[in-house]
């Protein structure tokens, strides 16, 4: 069976990190995802999709993502049954995030402070590639 969801949208609020009774990190957030626009519609329609992230993914999301950021999420769809305060049975569909990625470049923010290190290393010198000269002596392997 296949259960895979891939979404890109904007965060509707800052994610907040919580902990379960077993001290497992969890965060819930909502993505505003635009539907494809057609000429017959007056305006774009937006779906608000609930996302749940666990453990290190939850910690990553809570630390680095803020309201309004464009985010890409890959995960699985899960259905959850629950009861509201009046005793009515409810059903919720949500995405359990397996991967969460930045989907846009940083918008003019100040550079990170020493204690605010990015979760990855940037290449030194701005490029991982070596330039190949124009001279005829350099031979390409293909």
Q: What is the CATH number of the domain that holds 42?
A: 2.40.50.140
Weakly modelled stretches of the chain, pLDDT under 70: 38-41, 107-142
Do 29 and 97 contact (CB within 8 A), yes or no? no
Do 67 and 29 contact (CB within 8 A), yes or no? no
In a domain, 12, yes or no: yes
In a domain, 43, yes or no: yes
In a domain, 137, yes or no: no
Angle at alpha carbon of residue 16, lines to 15 and 22, rounded to 5°: 130
The structural domain count of the chain equals 1
**pTM exceeds cut of 0.75:** no
Angle at alpha carbon of residue 57, lines to 27 and 125, rounded to 5°: 130
Check residue 105 and give its pLDDT: 77
Check residue 22 and give its pLDDT: 94
Whole-angstrom distance, CA of residue 103 vs CA of residue 70: 5
Residue ranges making up the domain that contains 86: 5-104
In a domain, 17, yes or no: yes
In a domain, 127, yes or no: no
Check residue 1 and give its pLDDT: 86
């Amino acid at each position: 069976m296949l259960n895979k969801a891939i979404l890109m949208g904007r965060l509707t609020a800052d994610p907040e990190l919580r902990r379960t009774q077993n001290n497992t990190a969890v965060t819930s957030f909502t993505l505003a995802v635009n539907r494809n626009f057609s000429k017959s519609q007056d305006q774009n329609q937006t779906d608000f999709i609930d996302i749940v992230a666990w453990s290190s993914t939850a910690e990553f999301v809570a630390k680095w993502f803020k309201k309004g950021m464009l985010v890409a999420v890959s995960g699985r769809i899960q259905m959850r049954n629950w009861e509201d305060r009046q005793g009515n049975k409810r059903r919720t569909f949500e995405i359990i995030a397996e991967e969460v990625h930045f989907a846009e470049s940083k918008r003019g923010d100040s550079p990170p402070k020493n204690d605010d290190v990015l979760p990855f290393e940037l290449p030194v010198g701005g490029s991982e590639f070596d330039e190949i000269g124009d001279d005829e002596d350099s031979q390409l392997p293909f």
